[in-house]
Amino acid sequence: MQIYDKNNSTLSEIHKTMKTITVAKGDGIGPEIMDATLKILFAAGAKLKFEEIEVGEKVYLAGNSSGISQESWDIIRKNKVFLKAPITTPQGGGYKSLNVTTRKFLGLYSNVRPCKSLHPFVETKHPIMDVVIVRENEEDLYAGIEHQQTDEVVQCLKLISRPGCEKIIRYAFEYAKQQNRKKVTCFTKDNIMKQTDGLFHKVFDEIATEYPEIENEHWIIDIGAAKLADTPEAFDVIVMPNLYGDVLSDVAAQITGSVGLAGSANIGEECAMFEAIHGSAPRRAGQNVANPSGLLQGAIMMLNHIGQSTVAEKIQNAWLTTLEEGTHTYDIYKEGVSKIKVGTNEFADTVISNLGKTPQHLAPVKYDSTYQMVLPKYKRKNAAKKELEGIDLFVHWTGENPNELAEKVSKIAAKNLKLSMITNRGIKVWPEGFKETFCTDHWRCRFKPINGDEIEKEQIIESLKNALNLGVDVVKTENLYRFDGVAAYSLGQGQ
C-alpha cells in the first residue's frame, strides 16, 4: 500500500533537500515556456537539480519512431520525476505519441487537470468555475490497438480494465478528500457501451460507497459535457475514461480563459510526470509570445509532489498577483481587463518580481498537508465462472444481400453450432434485416450451439478450417463468454 501526503508525495519520497528531476524542453513553444518556468522555479528557491533529455520531433525525424532514446528512458526512470514541455508528434503513420507511451510505460494512471477561473482578471464566461478533471491515463481507445480489416473498415480496440477503473476512481475520491472537495462526478457513455463504459460506471458506484462524506453522481457524457461547457460551476471533481478526459480537459481549460493556463500532473505508483495540458503550438514558436502558465502550473504540482510546498505556494501566489495586476500574455490579453501585454520572458520576470507577494483580490493559496491519500495496490479478485457460449466470426465479403452471406457462412459452422445472427457495423441484418440498412464489406457472423449452452474451443478451430476450405475470408474471431452466468458481450443492434 502506498501512503501519499496532502501534496501527493509518498512519505518515503519526500525530498526536503535537493531533488534531481528530468527535464525535456520539447518542441514548438516548449523551449521558451520551459526556460521561463525554470527561471521562476530557481528564483523562488526550489531545491532542484535537473538532467535534460532530448525527446520529440528531432528524435522522431532522426529515425527513432518512439521519439525517445534508451538513455533518456534510463534517466527518467532513475529520477522518477519528469517535467516535460509539449512535443510535436509528426503527422503520418509510424510515429507513436511519446506522451501516451510515457504515461503507459511508467504506469502514470492518473492525470489530474485543475481548471479554475481567474475572474475578473482573466476574461471568462464562467466566473466561478473551479473544476478538477481526473482523467484515466493508460487505457480506453488510447491502448493504440488499431487494424484495417477489410477494404472499407478499420477498427480501434477500446480496452477498459477493472484494475484501471478501480485505481483512477479511488484516486479521484482520495484527491477530493485531500483537497476538501465536496463532490465527485463520473462521465461515461454506458447507455451505448455497456461493457466498457458500463464497467467504469459500475466500479464508480462501488467505490463511491466507501466515501459517504463525498457526494457522487453519474452523467451520460454527452449531456454532461454540454452542462460542463455551459454551467461548469455545477461540477467539482470529474472522473472519466481517457478519451473523454482528454477532450473535456481542453474544453474546461479553454473556458476558464485560455488553454494556456492549465497544468497537468500524471501520477503513477513510482514515477510522475508534470506538463502543460496544451500542445507545442508550432505557429507561435520562437516569437516570445506563448503563455508559460500551463507548464508553470504543472511545475507547481510537481513541487507539491516532491514536498517543496512552501516554494510552490510562493510561486502560485506570485503568479496570481501577476494575473491580478493585469500583466497578461496575448492569449488572455483583453482591452479593458488587462493592463499590459507581455511576452513569455517578460511574464516570467514579472512573476519573479512578485515572489513574496500575495494576491489582493483572488484567494491566496495555502498548501498544507493534513490528509494522507491512501492508494492501495490492486488486489486481483477471485476468478468468475467463465463459460464459452458462442463465437463471432468477422468476415470480409463484398456481396450485398445478407441472405446470400447467411447461406454461405451457415456451411462453415462446426458440428453442433449454427449461425444465429449477422450484423454489419453492429446492426442486425440477418435474419429479418431492413433493406434500407447500409452495409459495408465487414460482417459479424454469430454462431451459437444447437444443443446445450457451452461450446468447445475445438469447434472454433473447426469452423475456421471450414471457412478456409470454403473460401470464406474470416478476418477476426471473438469468443462469446458468460461470466458467473451473465452474458458478457453486446447483442446486435435491433436483436
Residues within the interface to ligand NAD (CB under 6 A): 29, 33, 86-89, 99, 259-260, 275, 278-284, 290-291, 294, 331
Closer CB to ligand NAD, 170 or 278, in the complex: 278
Closer CB to ligand NAD, 331 or 392, in the complex: 331
Residues 6+ away with beta carbon under 8 Å from 469: none
Min CB(106)–ligand NAD separation in Å: 14
Please tell me the chain's helix, strand, coil percentages from 3-state DSSP, rounded to the nearest 5. 35, 25, 40
Q: Which three cell numbers stand for residue 407?
A: 447461406
Closer CB to ligand NAD, 72 or 459, in the complex: 72
Closer CB to ligand NAD, 113 or 170, in the complex: 113
Min CB(243)–ligand NAD separation in Å: 14
Min CB(102)–ligand NAD separation in Å: 9
Min CB(62)–ligand NAD separation in Å: 17
Write down the residue that cell numbers 489582493 correspond to.
360
> Residue 249: how many CB atoms within 10 A of its CB?
26
Closer CB to ligand NAD, 283 or 435, in the complex: 283
Helix (H) or strand (E) holding 188: strand 183-188
- Asked if 32 contacts 288 with a C-beta cutoff of 8 angstroms, the reply is yes
Give the separation between CA 404 and CA 407, rounded to whole angstroms.
5
Give the separation between CA 33 and CA 211, rounded to whole angstroms.
39
Give the separation between CA 350 and CA 365, rounded to whole angstroms.
19
**∠ at Cα 67 (63, 73), nearest 5°?**
120
Min CB(463)–ligand NAD separation in Å: 43
Give the separation between CA 72 and CA 95, rounded to whole angstroms.
18
Q: Output Rg (C-alpha) for the chain, integer angstroms.
A: 26
- Asked if 454 contacts 387 with a C-beta cutoff of 8 angstroms, the reply is yes
Residues 6+ away with beta carbon under 8 Å from 248: 133, 187, 225, 228, 238, 240
Min CB(56)–ligand NAD separation in Å: 8
In degrees and rounded to multiples of 5, residue 314 shows phi and psi of: -60, -45
Closer CB to ligand NAD, 82 or 204, in the complex: 82
Min CB(301)–ligand NAD separation in Å: 14
Min CB(278)–ligand NAD separation in Å: 3
Q: Tell me which residue has its CB nearest to ligand NAD.
A: 279
Burial of residue 445 (CB within 10 Å: 0-12, 13-18, 19+) is: buried
Min CB(283)–ligand NAD separation in Å: 5
Closer CB to ligand NAD, 332 or 455, in the complex: 332
Residues 6+ away with beta carbon under 8 Å from 88: 26, 27, 28, 56, 57, 279, 280, 282
Closer CB to ligand NAD, 178 or 291, in the complex: 291
Give the separation between CA 188 and CA 39, rounded to whole angstroms.
41
Give the separation between CA 248 and CA 143, rounded to whole angstroms.
19
Q: Which three cell numbers stand for residue 320?
A: 496570481
Min CB(244)–ligand NAD separation in Å: 16
Q: CA separation (Å) from 399 to 430, 443, 447?
A: 14, 10, 20
Closer CB to ligand NAD, 114 or 260, in the complex: 260
Closer CB to ligand NAD, 281 or 375, in the complex: 281
